Amino acid sequence: MSVQTRPDLGSLPAYVAGRTVPGAIKLASNECPGGPLPSVRAAIAEAAADVHRYPDMGVTALADRLARKFGFPVERIAVGCGSVALCQQLTQALCVPGDEVVFAWRSFEAYPIVTQIAGATSVKVPLDSSHAHDLDAMLAAITPRTKLIFVCNPNNPTGTVSRREDLVRFLDQVPPHVVVALDEAYREFVADPDVPDGMEFARTRDNVVVLRTFSKAYGLAGLRVGYLVGPESLTEMVRRVYIPFSVNSLAQIAAMASLDAEDEMRERCAEIITERQRVADELTAAGYEVPETQANFVWLPLGEKALEFAEHSLANKVVVRAFAGDGVRITISTRAENDAFLQAACSFTG
């Protein structure tokens, strides 16, 4: 008899990573163009001498730093191997087979994957006509089996946001036993003051969790480190389902060094925000529909033309991320790389 794997995993969607193509500019994974800051690079180099030792299992120094930065007891912080691992730990901590996880669609592609791995059921709520979360429809999707709702703010891949007034109204109506995970992977790129910092809600509501990452604004995607702030009892369970030592020692050191370099990080984000506006304006002038974005990427809802557009970009040596039949997501990068993309976009005749 051959090996029997879990039958329900046969339909598990694959996570599709942005492609790296030699000789082409990669604008496909929402990475930070500048690389780690010089001080962070130096800290990583110094820490390399100790990698024969296991990392600090509890990620204690980094968790302490984050607790102090945001003003939470350290018991409310969990650090993970990227915030994607924390998405998975969260579903594992909350869901049993038959439970439901509600999220917008299209949104971060890991949500249906982590839901299915936990044996739970995805409830996908279509985005509204402006490519943003339809919070009323998400409320209407809640059933007695709903355990968790992901709200991606700004949303990946559309860059759209949920604003304070709408989020407060939404949170007021979510039953208290349902956890709302505000995924703020792109928080540092938000310039609109009406987009609330999720930490405000984590401070005042017992069912709100905030997810953040060092992969984007801090430029540490390759090191894999993210963090979560949540109610104490839930955060404790999130830590218990952690794969031991999965936040490696270089990641821990680099994340702490990054927190010491917040001013430089903010300067870099300001440059991306300026470029984001320029790219959006030029695309709009070229006739594209460009949903308003507060992230480090733009979304072109090209529908059936999405793959053709991505192929055309690639022929022009720019890799973008296409979602077949839906749209294309393009990471904002340096002025020169953005110009290379704009040139490709403006010569697309499909």
Residues in contact with ligand PMP by the rule CB under 6 A: 30, 82-84, 108, 152, 156, 183, 185, 213, 215, 221, 226
Please give the helix or strand (H or E) that residue 5 lies within, else none. Answer: none
Of 269 and 312, which CB lies nearer to ligand PMP in the complex structure? 269
For ligand PMP, the closer of residues 273 and 342 by Cβ is: 273
Edge to edge, the sheet with strand 77-80 lists 77-80, 226-229, 208-213, 179-183, 146-152, 100-105, 121-126
Least Å distance between CB 158 and ligand PMP? 11
- As measured in angstroms, the least distance from the Cβ of 148 to ligand PMP is 14
| 167: number of Cβ within 10 Å | 24
Q: At closest approach, how far in Å is the CB of 41 from ligand PMP? A: 19
Q: Which is nearer to ligand PMP, 220 or 283 (CB)?
A: 220
- Minimum Å gap between C-beta 190 and ligand PMP is 13
> By beta-carbon distance, which residue lies closest to ligand PMP?
82
CB of 156 or CB of 162, closer to ligand PMP: 156
Q: How many of the other CB atoms lie within 10 Å of CB of 154?
A: 26
Question: By C-beta, is 312 or 330 nearer to ligand PMP?
Answer: 330
> Are the CB atoms for 146 and 121 separated by under 8 Å?
no
Residues 6 or more apart in contact with residue 10 via CB below 8 angstroms: none
* Location of structure tokens 């507060």: 294
Q: Distance between CA 81 and CA 70 in Å, rounded?
A: 20
**Rounded least distance, CB 343 to ligand PMP, Å:** 26
Query: Given 3-state DSSP classes, what are the helix, strand and coil percentages for the chain, each rounded to the nearest 5?
Result: 40, 15, 45
Shortest Å distance, C-beta 17 to ligand PMP:
9
Sheet containing 297-300: order of strands: 297-300, 327-331, 321-323
Q: How many Å is the maximal CA-CA distance in the chain?
A: 62
Place of tokens 């733009």: 298
Q: Is 26 or 312 the residue whose CB approaches ligand PMP more closely?
A: 26
**Rounded Cα–Cα distance for residues 273 and 94 (Å):** 36
Q: Give 79 or 94: the residue with its C-beta nearer to ligand PMP.
A: 79
Tokens of 247: 């936040």
Nearer to ligand PMP, 226 or 312 (CB): 226
Shortest Cβ distance from residue 321 to ligand PMP (Å)?
10
Q: How far is the CB of 348 from ligand PMP (least distance, A)?
A: 25
Least distance (Å) between residue 155 CB and ligand PMP: 8
> Amino acid identity of 85?
A
Nearest in space to 79 (alpha carbons), one of 58, 100, 93: 58
Amino acid identity, position 74: V
Question: Toward ligand PMP, which CB reaches closer, 31 or 275?
Answer: 31
Give CA angle at 293 (209, 163), nearest 5°. 45
